[in-house]
Every structure is written in C-alpha cells, then in structure tokens.
Amino acid sequence: MKAPVSESGFSLVETILTIVIISISLVVLVSAWGQSARHSADPFWHAKAAHLGQAYIEEILTKRFDENTPVGGQPACTSASCSATLGVDKLSDGVTDETRDLFDDVDDYHGLNETPSENALGVIRPEYDRYQVAVNVSYAGVELGRPAKTVKRINVTVTPPGESAQLFVVYRGNY
C-alpha cells in the first residue's frame, strides 16, 4: 500500500489573502509616491522665487531713500523735506518716471506689479515667465521706534505659477 502523499502549496483562501494584502500595499505606496512626485518641484519654485525676490530687493536698495535726498545721501532729508506721497514721482517737465529704468528712489517702486518679470532695464526674464512680482512701500519709522518718515518698509511679493505667494520684507533707513 502506498503512503499518503502530503499536499503542499497554497490554498485558495491563502492566495486570495495574499493578493488583497499586496494590492492594498501597492495602493498605499503608489499614492504616497504620487503625492511626493506632485510636490517634488516645490523646492525649485521656492528657490527661483527667492532669487527673484532678492534681485528686486537689491535693485530697490541701490536707489536713494527719497526723491528729495541728494545723491550720496547727505544731508538726509528731514520729515518736512521728504516727499509727502509714495509712488512714482513727477519729473520737472510734468511727466512721470513710470518705467523702472527711470526709478530713482525707493518709493518709486510702490505699486509696481509685473507679470512676466522684467529686469531693471525692462528686459523680460523668460526663466520667470508666469511669475508675478508686486512691490509695496510704506513709511515704517513708528513700528521701529523712529520718527515716521525716517524708515521705509519695502514688501516684495513673488508668486510662482500655481504656488502660494512668498513675501520678502526689507527696511530702508534715511541716512
């Protein structure tokens, strides 16, 4: 008489359980991978926005404090002699210096809103296509414990395409 042969292998229940467990694991892994792939470019967008914001800040800080501040900055304008309004100034012929290449003081940038971004010479930067840059300038002496018109706060807001805005803030003193 023959000895009973033991059957080895997987039962139908074990096979189905294995397929279900592997399927659930794959769904979790693929969804996690998709989420990370979707946001993998975020550091790139943020780095480009930081570079663009820094470029605008550097450009603005090279300008004099106020329209009435002499070249070289000395003597600094007083609260009475500083411009009363922020924004683009009127030239002596009554025309405004509305283009960035004519901006000569910090508050000329107030209200600047560009898409696509341009450099100081008005040349479009194709690498920043669809970025938006907005500049807001305000007097900030009081918030720093100084006389009101002795400090200007410069807000540069850079918005990359499809991303949230990044705010860069710098103060410019009247010295």
Residue 136 backbone class (left: φ over 0; alpha: ψ -120 to 50; beta: rest):
beta
Q: How far is CA 66 from the centre of its chain?
A: 25
Q: How far is CA 126 from CA 25, 47, 48, 91, in A?
A: 43, 16, 12, 31
The arithmetic mean of pLDDT across residues 152-174, rounded, is 91
pTM above 0.85, yes or no: no
Tens of pLDDT, residues 72-115? 666 667 666 666 677 776 665 555 556 777 888 888 899 999 88
Spans of all domains in the chain: 40-173
In this structure, the number of other CB atoms found within 10 A of the CB of residue 75 comes to 9
For the ranges 60-64, 80-84, 154-158, the lowest mean pLDDT is seen at 80-84
Q: How far is CA 104 from CA 5, 76, 107, in A?
A: 97, 15, 9
Cα distance between residue 175 and residue 61, in whole Å? 13
